Structure 1
Amino acid sequence: MTIKHNKLALQIKVALIATTVGLSPAAFAQESDKAKQDDQQLERIMVTAQKRVQSTQEVPISVATLSGEKFEAIFAGGDDIQALAVKVPGLYAESSNGRAAPRFYIRGLGNTDFDLAASQPVSVIMDDVVLENVILKSFPLFDIEQVEVIRGPQGTLFGRNTTAGIVKFASAKPRQDFDAYTKFSVGSFGSRNVEGAVGSGLTDQLSARISVLSQHRDDYINNSFTNEKDAMGGFDETAARLQFLYEGDKFDALLNAHGRKLDGTSSMFRRNVFTKGSNELNQNYDRDTVAYDAGDNFQKYDNSGVSLKLDFELDGMTFTSITAHEQADGNGRGDIDGGTEAGPGPSAVGNAVTEDQLKDLKQLTQEFRLASDTAEAMEWQVGAFYFDSSFGVTSIDGFFGRTAVFHDNKSWAVFGQSTYNLSDRWDVTGGIRYTRDEKSFYVGEQNVNGFALVIGAAQIQNYAPISLDDGQMSWELATNYRLTDQTSLFARVANGFRAQSIQGRNVAFEEDPTTAESETINSIELGAKSDLLGNTLRLNGAVFYYNIDDMQLSAVGGTNNGNTLVNADKGTGYGFEVDADWRALANLTLGGGFSYNNTELKDANLRVGACGSGMCTPLDRTVVASGKTLAYVDGNPFPQAPKTILTLNARYDIPVSTGEIYFYTDVAVQGKTNLFLYESVEFRSSSNMEAGLRIGYQNYDGNYEVALFGRNITDEDNVKGAVDFANLTGFVNEPRIIGLEFKKSFF
């Protein structure tokens, strides 16, 4: 046993060294091991990171994927899309709006803006359709075939607002063969999750698939102020997707109609859960209890959409058209001071409660694409894209009353990309895109029925409409070299931009709307991708550096809990990420990854509102201007940018006569993270950890599976965000969920 162990350890060391210097350890493998490894080889993973189907090992981009059991395990407890946070190296997500408005970060780059009109540098794409508004980005995940996390700027093929990267979802598609499944689980807090899908051919050329989701959790958080038991914390979420696929001789058409309805609880803000001088949760924190004088936190959102994808086969080319329309409405309310006390500023009068309403969101997108479809040395694609979005946001404050603002955004682009195969091992890719983006904003009603207006503390302002437009060129140059049949090296230089932004939330609090100029990013990355040890070990890694000019930031917090757009002169980031999967034995698979992100704001004159309550301990140089504490943030890390992310997973199965018994576990650890633009002792987290466990039995003959699962099995209380205007308020992750799941498949 010692000899075998030492031999395996030596093979692993050789694999790691060979990846670093670009050598394949396959040459070192013993012939006697080959037969044992044949049944352990990892499956080939295909991605569409460049809008054509390719092996992830051949794409000159840092891409990570989630699918199958790894994906399903994450969402077994009924979590929303934010559960993807730190499950992939370099990817983070959080929200101060419950399940409805996620904020994504890749390689440390994201946006902490909590408004429904927020612009983000991470694009979310679902079934080839970009979802721009934060409510659209929260569409629940079910019957998903694969998730791709595409790191770094993607401005050539996917357009503006992708300076950080893309999270791309592909749902299971209809096919001619009949297949179906149903999945049901019950768990802690009365959690119930029902998911299912059925698909089949209707004729020789037409097939269909319908997928459904229903999720429920009981209220479990008590309100000690009103003495109401189980007042908040639960949710009901339903969603459905219907698809029709027509496959002709030289023409395919895919129709996708989908919708969701959410009735749940907004983020639970918890008053004074930090003690001045410490970032540890104190004795005031109780996961199951809050003291709200404003009633319940709630959120109710509905959204739906339809898309039509057409593919025409031409002479050596494919013409693709993707037309999509999305719409959404809803509202949510939060007791943002976290309890019965309000801090300084206007919110001190009455309850510190805000309600946000999304009004009549409509998004129309149209893409045309012409791509080569031959075996020639050069592959190419050209296209055009159009985007049109409009919506209103109404903010209701207990002191100022109701204020409504309206946003419009139109954008168009033309793009092209080409890959030239210099040899059967070496290819070069270049791309370019021109985008024109126009935004407009105007104020509708303001201070309606506001107490501040009645007592003369506020007045109707005459805000002029705002219009911004910008045209930018984005480009990329990449190369991939297959050093051996098992190892490839890639390099990529890319440029992208995030379009100008308008934020009107401050109008609700008697302040002017703010704008931010377009930001541009230049990024370089070098990486290696290897399938080692007889294709039983997949090891991919990349190092990167990026520089952002006119970086868009949202300065949130301060005395009035403001939300103000600013531009920093520059922002920089560098680091690396590693993704690994190893089929160590025929019945043992190990995986995971690690990312390191070092980010820094660079603007000697930039200062933002800090610690409006006066109760925290800023670490930055501060000044007092107009009665407000302002902090200089030059040199600070980006907000909500974990410095490290570690993910680990393992699966071990025991064959039995009718199937297998398996054990699956995953662990995610989040490193040091600063919550705001300014730094303080209280508002930062470190070493947040969550783990999951799944023990199941899979019956091959009956095509069914039953499993006991746990999410956040150690019941960690991880701080996800904070509110600083009134006290030391924080909000945390989801509680431990233990449950039982049954899944039945039909073929």
Structure 2
Amino acid sequence: MGNRKAALALSLLAGTALAAPVQAQEAIEEIVVMAQRRAQNLQEVPVSVTAMGGEQLQEAGLSNSLAIGDVVPNLEIKTFGGVPNIFIRGVGNNDFNSSSVGPVSIYRDDVAVASTGSQIFSLFDLDRVEVLRGPQGTLFGKNTTGGAIVYISKLPDGAQEGYFRLGYGRFNLLEAEAAASMPLADGLSARVSGTLRRRDGERVNIHTGERAIDVDEGAVRAILRYHPDGDHDVDIRLAAGTGRDRSDYLQPKPDGQINGADLFGYRDPAPGDVKILNFNGDSRNHSDNDWVSLTASFSLTDSVSLKSITGYDKGDVDNRVDVDGGPRRIDQIRFLTGTEQKSQEMQVAYTGDGIQALVGAFYFDEDFTSHSEADLVGELTFAQGAVPLVTDATRANKSYAIFGQATVNLADDLRLTGGARYTWDKVDATHQGMLIPGFFDAGIPDGAPIALVPFAAMGDTFKASSWRLAADYDVTRDVMAYGSVTRGFKSGNFNIGIITSVAERTKVDPEFLTAYEVGLKTTLLDRRLRANVAAFLYDYSDLQVLSVNQQGSGVPTLGLDNAADARIKGIEVEVTAIPADGLDLGLNLGILDAQYRNYTSGAIDPATGRPRDFSGNTLPGAPKFTLSSFAQYRVPLNDTYSAAFRAEYNYTARKYYNNAQDEAVSSRGGHGLLNLRVALSAPEADWELAFWGRNVTDKAYIVDATDLRDFGLIPLYYGERATWGVEFTQRF
């Protein structure tokens, strides 16, 4: 209740300030986005987009690609086994297997990052991040039924400039970040940037006496750009980067379901105390990622331009998770994955005669390998029924697409947009699961492998079209209304993760989503108030859903199925205002109603003897209410120094982590987080000294839960504890 009151109070505060007389001469900066693969003012794009600049990302303390979920309405992100589960408007991926493919695409600059292991990376030296909500299958391709998130690097522009930032915080947090741009020759410039972040564990593992959940990550990036001064006809960018993560995995606390204990009678010695863990398995979240991209743009005529985008990405992941979170060997898993992807995209753009058009072709080639070692019920000997399961899988995916979109000015204040894409996917996969007696027992020779899930080679081709139709109308010079109908799809796939029976090795067909959306974008009061509203209705069919089913056998089964359909509807409100000199306010609000329709699982519920009926249940990762807000006040102290005071409040309502709308496998209520920041700066000297605190009330909140009731427990994963620190930034 306290969180709800805080959210309401801050909302009313923002509303009061917005209604106050406007006295300032400041104006909200225009935001340029590439949501339609061309530069446009955010307020002129008939798409629901949230855009955050590099400075805003730093002030919010967002350090990696998954952190933005706290500040974008109807965006939820979690991770398990190194696999990010991203949900936009309730459309997402709840599959923890590394072979999973989500319906939200991640882009690093212009290149799609398909590998789940490569989608988790450090945020540093960015120009902005764009979150596009709703299907983006026309211009951004397949697997975007939920939307797309685009991370855009800061580019060299021929000037010599840069910065460095150093920070220290609680739990011996050390952060360092630096970037520099330099001209090399006429029209040729370069930018090099990097980041390092290390922190001792924020919790204690009493089983070993050591700290747990350490952080150790770093990345570098270099961009070479040829862009002759004053010549917009040529822009060639060669970019390369590498990232390394040697952090611990986010370990859970077990919630015993058998009189407060698990299958073996173990109880958490400190229930509810998120500082205390007690696990005996290895914990790591290690990954390496290398990537290269080449983007070249040329103006062929005054109205026609050509763009080529070439990308290469390689990722290797080694994740080890003690899933049960206790001192016994019940469910310990190691994930080893490797992914190599190559992509090529060609675009031809036309602007003239009241038409903006883009046509293109896309090619994508991915090779994926997976090896997992699951020590299931290792507390028992093999003869007594333990499951030492070793799984090997591969996937080769070749994808081809042609696409186009055009916007036609029907009148000075009315525009019509139409686009379509046709995609051809060829997927080949192999999979096997072996029981190897003695595999996890030191000093005991491995027994003869037993083909629990025999080797199989599978393949199929998936073809589908996606399209978009939209209209936008300038009600006034500062008010634009739009409406759209969009059809998107997520390609078919094979369930090749950790499974214990041939029946679980399923093929799923493509899922489809038709989205209806209307919106209003306004810039009022001499550009001191920006208010955008969107309402949407989704008709979602053939959902690809991972079901964790209890069979009473001691080992839960995992099924990847096509659910019947779902209906999603909601509203988003985004407001930014400067009601007084030096005062900035922001309020983002998401309201969501996402439910399965006519969805009956193929698994039998042992309690009833009938198939489990999930119809009417709330989709995983779809809280009914999300809010993010901030208030920042800048004030000059004298002719040399100025100060800035910033407060953020982010609230997320209850969300479920399985299909059964199960209270035990949920966040068990909503939670609100309060972040504070105070900065002293000398604008003329280009330096800033800032003090910050995140989750300053030390709120304990659940970010994930896993249904392991066949083992007598539900592992609960808690979010980061209260942290604080200081940072110094110098620009030159």
Give me the TM-score of the superposition, normalised by structure 2. Answer: 0.89
Q: Assess, with a 3 A threshold, how the Cα gap between structure 1 residues 275 and 740 changes in structure 2: closer, same or farther.
A: farther
In the TM superposition, residue 275 of structure 1 has moved relative to its aligned partner by: 9.3
Q: Assess, with a 3 A threshold, how the Cα gap between structure 1 residues 482 and 636 changes in structure 2: closer, same or farther.
A: same
**CA displacement, residues 546-568 of structure 1 (integer Å, 9 cap, x when unaligned):** 01111111113635344321111
The one of 685, 698, 701 aligned to 2:684: 701
The one of 352, 360, 363 aligned to 1:386: 363
Is 1:270 the counterpart of 2:253? The answer is yes
Is 1:459 the counterpart of 2:447? The answer is no
Amino acid in structure 2 at the alignment position of 1:435: T
In the TM superposition, residue 40 of structure 1 has moved relative to its aligned partner by: 1.9
Verify the 8 A CA contact 2:666 2:705 in the aligned structure 1. no
Verify the 8 A CA contact 1:401 1:450 in the aligned structure 2. no
Q: Helix, strand or coil: the match of 1:649? A: strand
Is 1:586 the counterpart of 2:581? The answer is yes
**CA displacement, residues 529-578 of structure 1 (integer Å, 9 cap, x when unaligned):** 11112211100001000011111111136353443211111111001100
CA RMSD in angstroms, aligned pairs only: 2.6
In the TM superposition, residue 229 of structure 1 has moved relative to its aligned partner by: 2.5
Verify the 8 A CA contact 1:193 1:216 in the aligned structure 2. yes
In the TM superposition, residue 659 of structure 1 has moved relative to its aligned partner by: 3.2
> Hey, what does 2:80 align to over in structure 1?
96
In the TM superposition, residue 438 of structure 1 has moved relative to its aligned partner by: 1.5
Verify the 8 A CA contact 2:240 2:292 in the aligned structure 1. yes
In the TM superposition, residue 643 of structure 1 has moved relative to its aligned partner by: 1.1
Distance across 2 between alignment mates of 1:633 and 1:445: 29
Amino acid in structure 2 at the alignment position of 1:357: L
> Hey, what does 1:482 align to over in structure 2?
474
Q: Assess, with a 3 A threshold, how the Cα gap between structure 1 residues 609 and 96 changes in structure 2: closer, same or farther.
A: farther
Is 1:741 the counterpart of 2:727? The answer is yes
Amino acid in structure 1 at the alignment position of 2:367: S
Distance across 2 between alignment mates of 1:320 and 1:459: 50
Verify the 8 A CA contact 1:65 1:149 in the aligned structure 2. yes
Distance across 1 between alignment mates of 2:420 and 2:18: 37
Is 1:656 the counterpart of 2:637? The answer is yes
Distance across 2 between alignment mates of 1:200 and 1:509: 58
**CA displacement, residues 164-188 of structure 1 (integer Å, 9 cap, x when unaligned):** 1111111101111111000111001
Q: Helix, strand or coil: the match of 2:83? A: coil
Between the two proteins, what is the percent identity of the paired residues? 29
Amino acid in structure 1 at the alignment position of 2:347: R
In the TM superposition, residue 712 of structure 1 has moved relative to its aligned partner by: 1.2
In the TM superposition, residue 742 of structure 1 has moved relative to its aligned partner by: 0.4
Is 1:46 the counterpart of 2:32? The answer is yes
Q: Which moved more, 1:409-418 or 1:245-254?
A: 245-254
The one of 560, 566, 569 aligned to 1:571: 566
In the TM superposition, residue 604 of structure 1 has moved relative to its aligned partner by: 4.5
Distance across 2 between alignment mates of 1:247 and 1:275: 66
> Hey, what does 1:317 align to over in structure 2?
304
Distance across 2 between alignment mates of 1:431 and 1:185: 47
Q: Which moved more, 1:393-402 or 1:489-498?
A: 393-402
Verify the 8 A CA contact 1:402 1:508 in the aligned structure 2. no
Distance across 1 between alignment mates of 2:393 and 2:154: 38
Distance across 2 between alignment mates of 1:275 and 1:69: 49
Is 1:201 the counterpart of 2:183? The answer is yes
The one of 487, 508, 530 aligned to 1:516: 508
Give me the TM-score of the superposition, normalised by structure 1. Answer: 0.88
In the TM superposition, residue 224 of structure 1 has moved relative to its aligned partner by: 2.2
Amino acid in structure 1 at the alignment position of 2:579: A
Q: Assess, with a 3 A threshold, how the Cα gap between structure 1 residues 282 and 377 changes in structure 2: closer, same or farther.
A: farther
Is 1:71 the counterpart of 2:57? The answer is yes
Q: Assess, with a 3 A threshold, how the Cα gap between structure 1 residues 655 and 561 changes in structure 2: closer, same or farther.
A: farther
Q: Assess, with a 3 A threshold, how the Cα gap between structure 1 residues 12 and 400 changes in structure 2: closer, same or farther.
A: closer
Is 1:368 the counterpart of 2:326? The answer is no
For 1:440-455, what aligned pairs fall within 5 Å after superposition? 440-443=428-431, 446-448=434-436
Verify the 8 A CA contact 2:429 2:459 in the aligned structure 1. yes
Verify the 8 A CA contact 2:202 2:721 in the aligned structure 1. no
Q: Helix, strand or coil: the match of 1:638? A: coil
Q: Helix, strand or coil: the match of 1:202? A: strand
The one of 605, 608, 613 aligned to 1:632: 613
> Hey, what does 1:404 align to over in structure 2?
392
> Hey, what does 2:3 align to over in structure 1?
none
Distance across 1 between alignment mates of 2:389 and 2:593: 42
Distance across 2 between alignment mates of 1:276 and 1:598: 34
The one of 243, 255, 268 aligned to 2:223: 243
Distance across 2 between alignment mates of 1:467 and 1:336: 32
Amino acid in structure 2 at the alignment position of 1:574: K
**CA displacement, residues 484-537 of structure 1 (integer Å, 9 cap, x when unaligned):** 111010001100100002121134677642221100110000010111122111
The one of 108, 111, 115 aligned to 1:129: 111
Is 1:354 the counterpart of 2:327? The answer is no
Amino acid in structure 2 at the alignment position of 1:379: Q
For 1:668-683, what aligned pairs fall within 5 Å after superposition? 668-683=650-665
In the TM superposition, residue 690 of structure 1 has moved relative to its aligned partner by: 1.3
> Hey, what does 1:177 align to over in structure 2?
159
Unaligned runs of 5+ in 2: 1-11, 261-267, 376-386
Q: Which moved more, 1:683-692 or 1:458-467?
A: 458-467
**CA displacement, residues 317-344 of structure 1 (integer Å, 9 cap, x when unaligned):** 1100000000011211111111135xxx
**CA displacement, residues 114-157 of structure 1 (integer Å, 9 cap, x when unaligned):** 11111111111111111112111112111111111111000000
Unaligned runs of 5+ in 1: 1-8, 17-28, 342-349, 613-621
Q: Helix, strand or coil: the match of 1:153? A: coil
Verify the 8 A CA contact 1:446 1:508 in the aligned structure 2. no
> Hey, what does 2:168 align to over in structure 1?
186
Amino acid in structure 2 at the alignment position of 1:339: G
Amino acid in structure 1 at the alignment position of 2:598: D
The one of 672, 676, 682 aligned to 1:689: 672
> Hey, what does 2:413 align to over in structure 1?
425
Q: Helix, strand or coil: the match of 1:645? A: strand
Q: Which moved more, 1:309-318 or 1:439-448?
A: 439-448
Q: Helix, strand or coil: the match of 1:102? A: strand
The one of 318, 325, 330 aligned to 2:317: 330
Distance across 2 between alignment mates of 1:609 and 1:729: 23
